[in-house]
């Protein structure tokens, strides 16, 4: 059957990465724009607050210099007491600390208040140049005083606002992304499982009928003599294995303690006559009896897929080496190495994605399936252990030993 993907998959991944970049660049622009615009507002508000403090300082100067003036009441009420937002501290001519909108508890001791005010003054000095007041006595300059101030609560909020807003949006975006991914994965799962079950179901009927037919054919001595029945039986056996694989992946397979060396040898025996004679398949193991908890039909499917990929990567000649090792910490490792064209470093992360293929007639599903079988059903791991262009690739499967 001619296999030709109608979706150019490499383009699909290219578009996908491009789209990610577009989203990232747009988000960065929106963030910078929003921070920049708020900064303009912050600067304007800072200027306005400075003007307010300057007016406040002038008013203070006025009241401190000219206590007898009738306008004092107006000035104190309308200017000094109207400052309800900007924290300000000034020192009177008598050297006393005065303040407005500073967090000081009236019940504190004088000493504590003074220390707190001094700390505040230091903080304010770092932020803004204090505003100078001139103390006069009968019109003659006697001394200078300073009004210290810092940002109002409103200004502080405005400075923090874009960061809080962007963080909230980022958290929301992240949660939405996770939810979307989760629902997409769940949907893919349903399609995958449904399709597998349906395939197994549909294969079942002709398979039973073929098995009945083979018994009829066996009765015919002419055909039986030519060895046709044995060949047919082999094909039926293969069809049975395929059906079992599809039906197992469509349900939760039950794992059993199996000798993986034996299972791998089964696959190799099956594959050997089917690949070019110039491709060697070798199995290395220190023990002929290495067991792990596996589901035999699915595990064999994985090995078959990895070997087929290895054959594809090598063209006509080369060697596939399968090493079965008993690792420390109760693990069994199966390394499948080839001497093929290797996987470029930039593509290593993509090979397990559904639809990723570099082959004309590939679906890009072999490794996706292998990963699903090993990760989900066997609680194991499958990954590219090493790969070098034009030298070869090693895939590793790690399973729990028994």
Distance of closest approach, residue 172 Cβ to ligand ATP, in angstroms: 35
- Could you write out the DSSP letters of every residue in 16-61? HHHHHHHHHHHHHHHHHHHHHHHHHHHHHHHHHHHHHHHHHHHHHH
Distance between CA 147 and CA 102 in Å, rounded?
A: 13
For residues 299 and 263, the answer to whether their CB atoms sit within 8 Å is yes
Show the site string, 299-318: x = touches ligand ATP by CB under 6 A, - = not: ------x---xx--x-----
First to last CA, the chain: 41
Separation CA 367–CA 382 (nearest Å)? 9
User: Angle at Cα 368 formed by Cα 367 and Cα 372, nearest 5°?
Assistant: 110
DSSP letter, residue 108: S
214 touches ligand ATP (CB under 6 A): no
Residue 253 interacting partner from Mg ion, ligand ATP, none (CB closer than 5 to 8 Å by kind): none
Site for ligand ATP (CB under 6 A): which residue of 343, 374, 397, 398? 343
Please classify residue 171 by burial: count the beta carbons closer than 10 Å to its beta carbon, then call 0-12 exposed, 13-18 middle and 19+ buried. Answer: exposed
Q: In degrees rounded to 5, what are phi and psi of residue 99?
A: -155, 160
Minimum distance, C-beta of residue 225 to ligand ATP, in the bound complex (Å): 39
Residues 101-130 that bind ligand ATP (CB under 6 A): none
By the 8 A CB rule, do 258 and 299 touch? yes
Positions 345 through 384 that interact with ligand ATP (CB under 6 A)? 351, 356-359, 362-368
For position 309 contacting Mg ion by CB under 5 A, the verdict is yes
State the binding string over 225-264 for ligand ATP (x if CB under 6 A, else -). Answer: ----------------------------------------
Only one of the segments 12-20, 233-241, 290-298, 337-345 lies at the binding site for ligand ATP (rule: CB under 6 A); that segment is 337-345
Binding track, positions 317-356, relative to Mg ion; x by CB under 5 A: ----------------------------------------
Site residues for Mg ion, window 360-389 (CB under 5 A)?
A: 366
The distance of closest approach from Cβ of residue 297 to ligand ATP in the complex, given in angstroms and rounded to an integer, is 18
**Scanning residues 377 to 396, which ones bind ligand ATP (CB under 6 A)?**
393
353-375: buried (b, 16+ CB within 10 Å) or exposed (e) per residue?
Answer: bbbbbbeeebbbebbbbbbbbbe
Angle between helices 153-219 and 228-249 (to 10 degrees): 160
**Least distance in angstroms from the C-beta of 352 to Mg ion:** 11
Size of the residue set binding Mg ion (CB under 5 A): 2
Least distance from Mg ion to the Cβ atom of residue 309, Å: 4
> Residue 103: which residues within 8 A CB-CB, separation 6 or more?
116
Nearer Cβ to ligand ATP, position 124 or 336? 336
Number of residues that bind ligand ATP (CB under 6 A): 22
How many angstroms separate the CA atoms of 159 and 45, rounded? 10
261 binds, among Mg ion, ligand ATP, none (CB under 5 to 8 A by kind): none
CB atoms within 10 A of CB 286: 9
Least distance in angstroms from the C-beta of 311 to ligand ATP:
9
The contact set with Mg ion (CB under 5 A) reads 309, 366
The contact set with ligand ATP (CB under 6 A) reads 305, 309-310, 313, 338, 340-343, 351, 356-359, 362-368, 393
């Amino acid at each position: 059957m001619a296999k030709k993907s109608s979706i150019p998959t490499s383009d699909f991944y290219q578009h996908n990465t491009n789209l990610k970049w577009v989203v990232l660049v747009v988000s960065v622009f929106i963030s910078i724009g929003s921070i920049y615009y708020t900064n303009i507002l912050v600067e304007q508000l800072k200027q306005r607050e400075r003007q307010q403090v300057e007016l406040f300082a002038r008013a203070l100067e006025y009241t401190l210099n000219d206590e007898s003036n009738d306008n004092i009441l107006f000035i104190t009420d309308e200017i000094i007491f109207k400052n309800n937002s900007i924290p300000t501290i000034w020192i009177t001519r008598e050297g006393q600390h005065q303040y407005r909108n500073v967090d000081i508890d009236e019940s504190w001791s004088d000493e504590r208040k003074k220390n707190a005010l001094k700390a505040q003054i230091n903080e304010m000095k770092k932020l803004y140049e204090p505003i100078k007041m001139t103390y006069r006595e009968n019109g003659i300059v006697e001394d200078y005083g300073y009004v210290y101030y810092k940002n109002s609560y409103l200004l502080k909020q405005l400075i923090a606002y874009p960061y809080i807003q962007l963080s909230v949006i980022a958290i929301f975006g992240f949660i939405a992304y996770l939810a979307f991914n989760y629902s997409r994965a769940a949907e893919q799962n349903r399609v995958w499982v449904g399709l597998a079950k349906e395939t197994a179901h549909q294969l079942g009927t002709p398979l039973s009928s073929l098995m009945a037919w083979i018994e009829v054919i066996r009765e015919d001595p002419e055909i039986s003599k030519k060895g046709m029945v044995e060949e047919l039986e082999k094909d039926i056996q293969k069809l049975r294995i395929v059906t079992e694989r599809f039906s197992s992946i469509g349900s939760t397979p039950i794992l059993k303690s199996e000798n993986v060396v034996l299972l791998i040898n089964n696959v190799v025996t099956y594959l050997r006559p089917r690949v070019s004679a110039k491709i060697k398949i070798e199995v290395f193991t220190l023990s002929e009896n290495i067991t792990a908890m596996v589901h035999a039909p699915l595990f064999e499917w994985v090995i078959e897929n990895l070997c087929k990929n290895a054959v594809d990567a090598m063209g006509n000649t080369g060697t596939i080496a399968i090493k079965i090792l008993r690792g420390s910490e109760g693990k069994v490792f199966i390394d499948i190495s080839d001497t093929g064209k290797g996987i470029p470093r930039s593509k290593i992360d993509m090979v397990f994605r559904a639809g990723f293929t570099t082959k004309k007639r590939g679906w890009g599903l072999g490794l996706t399936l292998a990963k699903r079988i090993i990760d989900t059903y066997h609680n194991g791991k499958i990954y590219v252990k090493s790969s070098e262009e034009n030298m070869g690739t090693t895939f590793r499967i790690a399973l729990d030993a028994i």
